[in-house]
Structure 1
Amino acid sequence: MRFAPGSRAAVIGGRLAHQVYDELKQQLLAGAHQPGSALVVNDLCTEFGVSKQPVMEALRALAGDRLVEIQPQVGVRVRDFSAHEVEAFFWFFARCEGSMANRAAQFGTEAEMAELEVLCEELEQLEGSPDEVGQLGYRRGNREVHSLIHAMGRSALAADISYDLFDLSDFLIVTHGRGFSGRLAERNHGHREVLDAIRRRDPEAAEEAMRLHVLTSPLGGHQLA
């Protein structure tokens, strides 16, 4: 079975706060707000048609996701990270995802590998799509690919932790890197190398392929140190 990922949204009490959280998070992950830019609470109340309480509840959850920063007596800003912080994050994230690919090669079933093949084919079909459509479709499909690999590792706890890093990964790629524009074929090639290693039941090769795939994410194909 595929493990359901954890979420900061699980601690949000109200329906309206959930709605604001989900919609504002999607804006942040799509790069609609620049790093360091202010998020004005009153403006958000108007945009979402809600009172201040659900907006603040959503912002606190997003702060827990490290996507925004709440500064008392100052306001709320979109998180901005230094180049060193981005590099350190992807160094760590690559090793987490590599470990999950290693386990997938050991414990994944033939049925799951067949499902992974279908997901990879669906992503490859996006390569000829208009840029905006392709990027949105890739971001969603990429989550599916990695989520399935997490599930193949047969550890709900490890899958939960790895999946929850994805929000920050997508945010950093779109706000501090080059995004996925013009890079779908390159990213899909990386998935293929991971899938091939998993199919061969080669844990070390799967781990290395995934590590390199993640490390080339933020800088447009130039591997991080």
Structure 2
Amino acid sequence: MQPTLPTPMHPPRPAARPSRAEDIRATLEAEIEAGVLCPGAPLDERELAQRFGVSRTPVREALQQLAAHELVTSTPRQGAAVTRLTVGKVRAMLEYVGELESLAARLAARRGDEALHAALDAGLSLCRRVAATPGAVGYAAANAAFHEAIYQGCRNEILAGHIRVARRCLQRYRMRDFASGQQVAKSLEDHQRIADAIRAGDEQQAAAAMTVHVPAGTTGFAEFLATVPAHFFDGGHAAAS
């Protein structure tokens, strides 16, 4: 009887490196979400190929991938550009985010513990420190950290994931959320009310405070709209009524 020989071991295959098209897509996607490439900004294939040091083929593939996620729009004879949303769609997305954030605050109040309360305190402290600096540079990041504490504290990763994705989609329209001291001051007041309600375990008040905080209501949305250049919207501001 022939002895059974051990199966030869094959070295693990190295993970495939992202293609140039994927690298370009990731870079452009990050720049669109951060507002570096604003809504309506043209995306010329030749210029992008020169920028990334590649042929136009991977650039074209990257733009097609972005178009599939509605971040880029291509039109005949005009080429590609960062997608501009209508005022109505931005409002609908803000309403959607507002409802999700309200639910997250409600669940955080229900499930709050010492870890969440400590995270809220840390977020509030960071927001106050940044707000006290000249120009409140970095307040948007501090604001995001405060909200992230609530997403973690709601203990519903599906809900938190939907909020994060929606906020990323809206970010390019919210680059001037904290452009004035008055906006920053209001944000701080809102954060304090939200945190107090969550600490108290008051689900209804936590949800209500978050609803007021997100610019989806009639007055809040009008104020938000005034901070966004009209040419960022498909059809301009006229669609808001």
Q: Deviations over 1:86-108 (max 9, x none)?
A: 22221121001111111111113
Matches within 5 A, 1:1-225: 14=18, 16-17=20-21, 19-71=23-75, 74-131=78-135, 134=137, 137-174=138-175, 178-182=176-180, 183-215=183-215, 216=220, 219-220=223-224
Counterpart residue type for residue 212 of structure 1: V
For residue 69 of structure 1, give the secondary structure of its aligned residue in structure 2. strand
Counterpart residue type for residue 97 of structure 2: F
Give the superposed CA RMSD. 3.0
Check whether the contact 1:67–1:171 (CA below 8 A) recurs between aligned residues. no
What's the TM-score once normalised by structure 2's chain length? 0.72
For residue 174 of structure 2, give the secondary structure of its aligned residue in structure 1. helix
Cα deviation for residue 181 of structure 1 reads: 0.4
- More displaced stretch, 90-99 vs 80-89: 80-89
For residue 77 of structure 1, give the secondary structure of its aligned residue in structure 2. strand
Q: Deviations over 1:156-189 (max 9, x none)?
A: 2111111111112212223xxx432012222222
Task: Name the CA shift for 1:47/1:142 in 2 (closer, same or farther; >3 Å).
Answer: farther
Structure 2 distance, partners of 1:57, 1:39, is 13
Counterpart residue type for residue 207 of structure 1: A
Structure 1 distance, partners of 2:113, 2:190, is 21
Structure 2 distance, partners of 1:218, 1:179, is 13
Cα deviation for residue 218 of structure 1 reads: 7.5
Structure 1 distance, partners of 2:117, 2:22, is 34
Task: Name the CA shift for 1:68/1:123 in 2 (closer, same or farther; >3 Å).
Answer: farther
Cα deviation for residue 220 of structure 1 reads: 4.1
The number of residues matched between the two structures is: 207
Structure 2 distance, partners of 1:53, 1:122, is 45
Structure 2 distance, partners of 1:148, 1:50, is 41
Cα deviation for residue 71 of structure 1 reads: 4.1
Structure 2 distance, partners of 1:147, 1:74, is 39
In the alignment, structure 1 segments of 5+ residues that lack a partner are 1-12
- More displaced stretch, 197-206 vs 47-56: 47-56
For residue 14 of structure 1, give the secondary structure of its aligned residue in structure 2. coil
Identity of aligned residues (%): 28
Check whether the contact 1:30–1:171 (CA below 8 A) recurs between aligned residues. yes
Q: Deviations over 1:96-131 (max 9, x none)?
A: 111111111111321122112112211221224344
In the alignment, structure 2 segments of 5+ residues that lack a partner are 1-16, 227-239
Aligned counterpart, 2:10: none
Greater Rg by CA: 2
Counterpart residue type for residue 84 of structure 1: G
